[in-house]
Amino acid sequence: MSNNPINLSWNIAGVEIGLRLTTRLADRDHFDSEYGWLSKPFASLRGDSTARKAAGNLLLNVEFAPPWATRGNVEVDERFFRAAAKGKAVAFECSDFVGTLHNRSGSVYEADFKLRDTAFPALQTVIRICLSHVLADQGELLLHAAGVVRDGKLFVFSGASGTGKTTIATELRAGGTAFCVDRVVIGVRQDGRIISQATPFSDTDGILEPHPPHEVSGIFFIEQGDHDALARCNSHHAAKLLLRDGMPPSRNSDRDTRLLGVIETICHSRLCYNLVFRRRPDFWALIDSATNEPVGS
């Protein structure tokens, strides 16, 4: 069956991304149904382009290939994932894809990946992984989180899959607007302000509205429970969670040092909280009370 190249380009958090996807002709409809949301133009989500330089340029070459299930004669565990630094490149391998991200020069990157032809959802993972490394070189985290803008303030909700991030952004935003539903970019400006940028990842329902970069008013590490409770998160615990949900698998000492500095600043900002919530919007009263307090209190 003939190949049907798919070419897309868009801007996410200031990074100009080009995707060249080689797939079978029969897969085009599958791609459109799985990633139609990604095919929309996202220039409106780049924010104020005059406020900062583009974080970089990333070209992704992706090919869907027949499944592979063994390494030697051993079946690959579905949880298997490995990243290894090779000079200015990072090589990735897991049960769904293999590939390498190259830093060609400065802020210019190119990646070559091969995905199992039954692993369409892995394409989003590949894009996120590559973007996280490009942003990390600029000192920014791509955090597994949702965001809500409410009364002019941005609140970021971070947690593992299934903890309720998307639920808060889509169902429990209490008059706010969804900033992002799955990944948010967080960085620290020279004046010490913590700034976030939206991404379109997983916006399958098309609910996101354009937002420029926004100062963060609170970062909440969430879990669902039978009551609502909010408490400041100590810096050690916050660092542990930010490392879990935002640190790309690079093993690059310069990049890691840069991001650890960002994480340290966030952890000492007194913006981090632990939030337990029921599946209704009553918890916003706790957030409003806490974030309206003077910073030093």
Within-domain flag for 296: no
| Euclidean distance between CA atoms 46 and 211, whole angstroms | 8
CB atoms within 10 A of CB 222: 22
How many domains would you assign to the chain?
2
Neighbours of 81 (CB within 10 A): 15
Last residue of a domain, one of 138, 156, 187: 138
H or E segment to which residue 111 belongs: strand 108-116
Give the end of a domain, one of 138, 172, 197.
Answer: 138
Does the pLDDT value for residue 42 go beyond 80? no
Position 34 scores a pLDDT of 66
Same domain membership, residue 146 and residue 281? yes
Phi-psi region of 151 (alpha: psi -120 to 50; beta: other; left: phi over 0): left
Domain match, 76 and 180 both: no
Question: Residue 178 sits in a domain of what CATH number?
Answer: 3.90.228.20
Sort 42 into a burial class: Cβ within 10 Å, 0-12 / 13-18 / 19+: buried
| β-bridge pairing 153-158 and 177-180 | unpaired
Q: Which pLDDT value is given to residue 296?
A: 46
Q: ∠ CA(89), CA(106), CA(183), 5° rounding?
A: 70
Same domain, 157 and 92: no
CA 191 from centroid of its chain's CA atoms: 24
Q: Label residue 33 by pLDDT band (50, 70, 90).
A: low
- pTM of the predicted protein model: 0.85
**Of 156, 159, 151, 160, which Cα lies nearest the Cα of 169?**
156
Print the domain residue range for 12: 6-138
Q: What is the DSSP letter of 174?
A: T
pLDDT at position 286, please? 97
To the nearest 10°, report the CA torsion of 288, 175, 241, 191: -70
Identify the pLDDT of residue 294. 55
In the predicted model, what is the mean pLDDT of residues 22-32? 63
Q: How sure is the predictor about 27, in pLDDT bands with cuts at 50, 70 and 90?
A: low
Nearest Cα neighbor of 28 from 9, 7, 8, 4 is 4
Tell me if 1 is assigned to some domain: no
Q: Give the residue from 138, 170, 202 where a domain finishes.
A: 138
Q: Tell me the C-alpha distance between 261 and 246, whole Å.
A: 13
pLDDT above 70 as % of the chain? 79
Per-residue pLDDT tens digits for 122-150: 888 899 999 999 999 888 999 999 999 99
Residue 189 pLDDT exceeds 60: yes
Question: What would the pLDDT profile of 72-82 be if each residue is shown by its tens digit?
Answer: 433 444 556 88
